Structure 1
């Protein structure tokens, strides 16, 4: 992963101003991940996709923020964007719920790259995972990047909307200046969420209405 980190640093991304990259935290995380690779673990996604959320949506372009947990642990499924699915199998259950709420045709697939390119920052709380081991890298130090990225968007003068789904994402509401930004919270889209408080919460419509009220172009949430 150290090579992926160096390639990202060479990109000149606006996210490189975060302390995570400037004070050595990123190098510590990279060393831990590379240690697992050296031990024989299969780390996902592919190295060129690890920082893809930051590459696709520069800090200055962020209009909306959606936080996930970590990449899909099946090889070939994740492409570096939270909830985005590019695998050959059936769409993950949470993503099916998300796309139904967004009014998107499932036949269009689950690649959320079109959202990212409209300014939707799709960031996972851990940018790496191990094959077959969901959550394996959640305690590797990636959370500092997530916290700093949320604060960086909140600190900008441009308004953005934060869609916080589930307990982990909602815990970061305290990092956001809700007087200047839109913050819409709900339960997680997972069918395992017994409260079932994501379907019908209209996060995408609420986000677009809020953006329009701030004079910002709404997002086309449909795929295909």
Structure 2
């Protein structure tokens, strides 16, 4: 599999691609995509890495694995392409964005713009079998994600990490600067009662300003 990435990711991928686990991960992906219906499109698995350079990351929002319905996943956590109905978790995220910052994003669930403005929307499991959440949990993604979070922490100490849900919170142990962690419940309808009214977007912008960074343009 040819992995395309923006300038600045070469060091990370050059190191990972030499490791046995990563070679096996790519083989596992090839096998799964040949034998099953998987999401996102194979060409979109690493698409996030083409949209933003490491030096431009301000916020990392950690998701679990891609949407597992047809045409939903597009390589960015929580995002869908234009013209696709917003999944419930994304609708709930937009509810909070509206309450926090008076920004209405409901017309489009495409979050490419967020990435280009410094938000790294990362699923720690980068692929999934249709209608089967966590189906690719054990094919190598966990090691890749651990190494990625550690790498980002080694090259940057000013990135804000947003951990929604217990799965994402597991990655807090790889984040060196605990003051830059924002934790909360997952935006899924099952836990929305705990997710809502936590002012996540206000907290993100507050920490950015505290770290002398420009706030994110969360508009479309």
| TM-score past 0.5 threshold | yes
Answer yes or no: is the 8 Å Cα contact 1:82–1:123 preserved in 2: yes
Q: Deviations over 1:68-105 (max 9, x none)?
A: 11111122111100000126453111111111111242
- Mark the runs of 5 or more structure 1 residues left unpaired by the alignment: none
Q: Is residue 69 of structure 2 the alignment partner of residue 74 of structure 1?
A: yes
TM-score by length of 2: 0.88
Q: Give the superposition deviation at 1:16.
A: 4.7
Match of 1:214 in 2: 211
TM-score by length of 1: 0.87
Answer yes or no: is the 8 Å Cα contact 2:97–2:104 preserved in 1: no
Q: In the aligned structure 2, how far is the partner of 1:56 from the partner of 1:25? A: 25
Q: Give the superposition deviation at 1:13.
A: 5.1
Q: In the aligned structure 2, how far is the partner of 1:160 from the partner of 1:14? A: 16
Secondary structure, aligned partner of 1:8:
coil
Select the residue among 57, 64, 85 that pairs with 1:90. 85
Match of 2:22 in 1: 26
Secondary structure, aligned partner of 1:148:
helix
Match of 2:60 in 1: 65
Select the residue among 41, 50, 58 that pairs with 1:46. 41
Give the count of matched residue pairs.
215
Answer yes or no: is the 8 Å Cα contact 2:3–2:46 preserved in 1: no
Q: Runs of 4+ in structure 1 displaced over 6 angstroms?
A: none
Secondary structure, aligned partner of 1:22:
coil
Secondary structure, aligned partner of 1:51:
coil
- Mark the runs of 5 or more structure 2 residues left unpaired by the alignment: none
Answer yes or no: is the 8 Å Cα contact 2:33–2:42 preserved in 1: no
Q: In the aligned structure 1, how far is the partner of 2:76 from the partner of 2:122? A: 6
Two-structure CA RMSD over aligned residues (Å): 2.1
